[in-house]
A and B are shown apart, each in its own frame.
Chain A
Amino acid sequence: MDLLFEKSVMDRRSELLPPLDVPETALPEQLARKTAPLLPELSEGDLSRHYSALEKRAYGVNSGFYPLGSCTMKYNPAVNEKCAKLPGFCEIHPLQPESSVQGCLAALALAEEYLTEITGMDRMTFQPAAGAQGEFTGLMLIKKYHEARGDHRRKKIIIPDSAHGTNPATVSMCGMEVVNIPSDEDGCINIERLKAAVSADTAGMMLTNPNTLGIFEKDILSITEIVHEAGGLVYYDGANLNAVMGVVRPGDMGFDIIHLNLHKTFSTPHGGGGPGCGAVGCKNFLEPYLPYPVVTKTDNGFRLDYDRPDSIGRVKGYYGNFLVVVKALAYLMTLGKEGIPLSAKTAVLNANYFMHLLKKRYTVATTGVCMHEFVISMEREKKERGVTATEIAKALIDRNIHPPTVYFPLIVKEALMVEPVETESKETLDEAARVFAEIYDAAMEDPGAVHACPQTTPIGRPDEVAAARNPVLRYRREDNDGA
C-alpha cells in the first residue's frame, strides 16, 4: 500500500480550510521557513480512500473477538462518543476563562468523585495521557513524599517478577532502583521474600491486583502493611482493575496511589497510540504533590487551582485528554452503582467460563478460579511438537480472532495471556473456544500446518529481528525518490 507521500501529485488540493477572515500577517523572519514543507498533495477523495483502505487493514474491538491479556479490550459504547461530541465539551479552548467552562470543570469534578469512590482514593488528576505516564506521575509522588520529609535515602522500589514491564521502566525513568522479588509457585507475592526485601532505603512497592496471572493477591493486607511498616508507600497499577471495580477498593487494600487506564477499564477507545488517560488517584496526605492545576470546588462553582507550591509540576499540557474523561464519565453514569460491579463480576465470569472451555486442550498456568484473565502455557506442546505460543497466535489471526498477549508474564514459559472481557457474549466465547480447539488439534497433528499462518493479512510473518534491529521509523523522500 502506498503512503500519502507516494500518492502525492504536485498542486492537487483539498479545499478544507475556510476563507481567511482576519488580517494576514507574516511570521517573523527568523521563524519563517525558507522552502515549502514537503507535504503530500491530494484531493479529498484520494485522502478518504486512503484512510478507508487503512481501516480495512486494521483490527479493532469492532472487528471481532480481542482477548488481549491485561489490555481490557472491551466494547466502547456509542453513547460515550455522543457525549464527547457535545459542543459544550468539544468546542472549547483550554485558555477560555473559567467562568465560561464551568460545565467542563463540573464534569472533571464528577468523574473524580466517582473514580475516587470506586478506588478508595481521596483525590485524582486526569493530566497523564496514558498508563505509563500515570505510573511516572505516581512514582514522582512517592519520591516527593520522601523528599518532603527530608528522607533522601529511599531510592528502591520493590516489584514482583510478574509485573507489567512498564513498572521497572517507570522506576528507571524516575531515577530510582528496582528490587525484583520472585513470585511464589502460585504466582502470588511471597511474604517472607517481601519481608527480606524491605529496608530503610525502600521508597515503595508497585503491584497490580489481581496480578498478571489473573490471581487475586490473597495476602494483600499483609503486603501493604509490611511496606508501610518499612516506611514505604504502595502503588496500585490499575491495568487489572476491570476484575474488581466496584467490588473491592485498592484504597481499602492499603494502597496509597493508583493509576487508572480510563481507556481500558472505563471504555474509552484505545490502541494505536491514543488518546488515552492514565488518571492518578492518591490518599489525602499526597494531595499537595499532585500535578497542577487541580479542579477545586468554590461557593459558586469550580475553579482551576494553580497555586500549588508543593506540586511535582505538570506532566502534560493543560488538563490532559479532557474528552477521554468525558467518555469515561458517560460510561460511569450509564452503568451506575449497580452496573460497575456487575461489569467486573461478568468479566470474571467470562474469563472463568472461557478458561474452562480452553482447558479441555490447553494447559492453564494456575489452578482454581481466575479473575478477569488467565495464562496458558504452551511449554509442553513446544517440547513435544514444536508448537509454540507464537504458532497459536498467528493461526488465530487467520480465523479473525486477535491473538492473546504472548510471552507475558515472563514467569510463565510460552505464555498466552487471555482476557475475554465482560462485553463478549456466551455465543462469541463458545465460537472462539471452538476455533482455539481446532487450531490446537491441527497444530498438534501437523505442526507444519500452522507455520504458514497468517495468510489472510497484508503482511504474513514480519522479520521481527530485522524490525527490532533496523527499525524504519519514518518516511524520507530522499530515500525513496528515484528508487
Chain B
Amino acid sequence: MNNPHHLKYAKTHEWVEFLPDSTLKIGLTDYAQNEMGALVFVNLPEAGDAFSSGDIIGDVESVKTVSDIYAPVSGTVTAINEELLDTPEMINADPYGAWLVQVGDAEIDEPLLSAEEYEAFVAEGE
C-alpha cells in the first residue's frame, strides 16, 4: 500500500490533510477505492453544512455497491470538490489527489491514524 505519510487516516477509510490555513481536506483512501471498484456516482454535502465525527456526510456508488462517507472529524464544510460530481472516476485514478470536501473549524474528537497505523489496521482486517 502507498499511503502518503503527511496524511492522517480514519478507520472508516477516509484520509485527512491538514492545510497551512488550519482548514483540512478529506478524501477516500486507495484501499477504499480499490475495494469499491469503478465509481459511478458521488454525493457530497453542501458548503456550510456542519457535522460531527462519525456523521454520514455523503456516499459513493460503484458498479458493485454504495458506501457511506463518514466524517473523520467535526467541522463545517467550506468547499466541496465539484469536479468529482461529474467525474467520480478521478477518485479511482488518484485517490490522494481527489479530495472530497474542505473543512473549517475542525475538531478531532476521535484519534486519527498515521499511515503505518492505518496500514496495520487494514492488514488486520484482511
Q: B33-54: contact bitstring with A at CB < 8 Å (1 yes, 0 no)?
A: 0010010110000000000000
- Given the known interface contacts A413-B35, A469-B40, A469-B41, the answer about A464 and B63 at a Cβ–Cβ threshold of 8 Å is yes
**A413-B35, A465-B89 given; A407·B64 CB < 8 A:** yes
A410 CB-CB contact with B under 8 Å: yes
Interface magnitude class on chain B: 10 to 19
B65 contacts A by Cβ under 8 Å: yes
Q: Contact: B65 with A465, CB < 8 Å? A: no
Interface string of A400-411 (1 = CB under 8 A from B): 000000110010
Complex alpha-carbon distance, A469 and B61, angstroms: 10
Q: Are A464 and B38 in contact (CB under 8 A)?
A: yes
Query: What is the CA–CA distance of A406 and B61 in the complex, to the nearest angstrom?
Result: 16
User: Are B40 and A407 neighbours in the complex by a CB distance under 8 Å?
Assistant: no
Give, as a whole number of angstroms, the nearest-CB distance from A263 to chain B.
25
Q: Which residue of B lies closest to A389 (CB)?
A: B64
Chain A 299-323 interface mask (CB, 8 Å, partner B; 1/0): 0000000000000000000000000
Which residues of chain A come closer than 8 Å to B63, judged between CB atoms? 464-465, 468
User: B62: shortest Cβ distance to chain A, in Å?
Assistant: 9
Contact with B along A378-416 (1 / 0, CB 8 A): 010000000000000000000000000011001001000
Closest to A467 in B: B63
Across the interface, do B65 and A468 meet the contact criterion of CB distance under 8 Å?
Answer: no
**Which one of A379, A413, A468 lies within 8 Å of B40 (CB-CB)?**
A468
A439-483 vs B, Cβ < 8 Å mask (1 yes, 0 no) = 000000000000000000000000011001100000000000000
- A406: nearest residue on chain B (CB-CB)? B64
Chain B residue numbers with a CB within 8 Å of A407 are 64-65
Interface residues of B in 1-58 (CB under 8 A from A): 35, 38, 40-41
**Shortest Cβ distance from residue A177 to the other chain B in the assembled complex, whole angstroms:** 11
Binding site for A on B (CB under 8 A): 35, 38, 40-41, 61, 63-65, 89, 126
Residue ranges of A at the interface with B (Cβ–Cβ < 8 Å)? 379, 406-407, 410, 413, 464-465, 468-469
